[in-house]
Amino acid sequence: MIKPGSRWKSRVCTAEAVLIRPPKSEGLPQCGGVDMAPVGEEAAPADMQPGLDQGCVVGKRYRSEATGIELLCTKAGQGSLGFAGAALDPVEAKKLPSSD
């Protein structure tokens, strides 16, 4: 099982992400439709899958309600962050006032 806090890099673009919440099922975080690789390990570049090129933005979180996975984008890229072949949805930015 992949761990919260684990760091991942895209094989199709410059994107990097941190796993905030693990998925309920087996599988790796994806970018551009391709499994991401652990940061610090060698990984072969790959081609972006069609339709999964919406990009990701630093500081934004991406989530899938259905699978439970949540990623935080820490480096921007061209690929869509995803899981199990589908793109994740961006989490709406909070409008909470600062309280501490």
Partner 1 sequence: MRIPLLLELAAEAVPDRIAIDGSEGALSYAALQARAQAFAASLAGSPAAHIGYLGVNAPALPVALFGAALAGLPFCPLNYRLPDETLRRLAARLAPALIVADEAMADRLAGIHGIEILPRDALWRLTETPADGFVPVEGSDIAVLLFTSGTSGEPKAALLRHENLTSYVFQTVEFLGADEDEAALVSVPPYHVAAVSALLTSVYNGRRIVQLESFQPEAWVDSARRFAVTHAMLVPTMLGRVLDVLETAQATLPSLRALAYGGGRMPLPVIRRALDLLPGVAFTNAYGLTETSSTLSILGPEDHDAARSGEEESLRRLGSVGRPVPGVAVEIRDPDGRVLAAGEPGEIWVRGEQVSGEYVGRKATDDAGWFPTRDLGWFDEAGYLFIDGRLDDVIVRGGENISPGEIEDVLRQHPAVADVAVIGAPDQEWGERIVAFAVAQGTIPAEAELQDWVRTRLRSTKAPQQIFFRDMLPYNETGKLLRRTLRDELAAG
Interface with partner 1, residue 44, by CB under 8 A: no
> Residue 8's closest CA among 37, 42, 41, 44?
37
Residues 6+ apart with CB under 8 A from 1: 22, 26
Q: Which of 26, 41, 42, 100 binds partner 1 (CB under 8 A)?
A: 100
Q: Which of 40, 42, 50, 93 binds partner 1 (CB under 8 A)?
A: 93
Closest distance of CB 37 from partner 1, Å? 17
CA-CA distance, 78 to 53, in Å (whole number)? 6
Residue numbers of the site for partner 1 (CB under 8 A)?
A: 4-5, 18, 20, 58-61, 72, 74, 93-94, 96-100
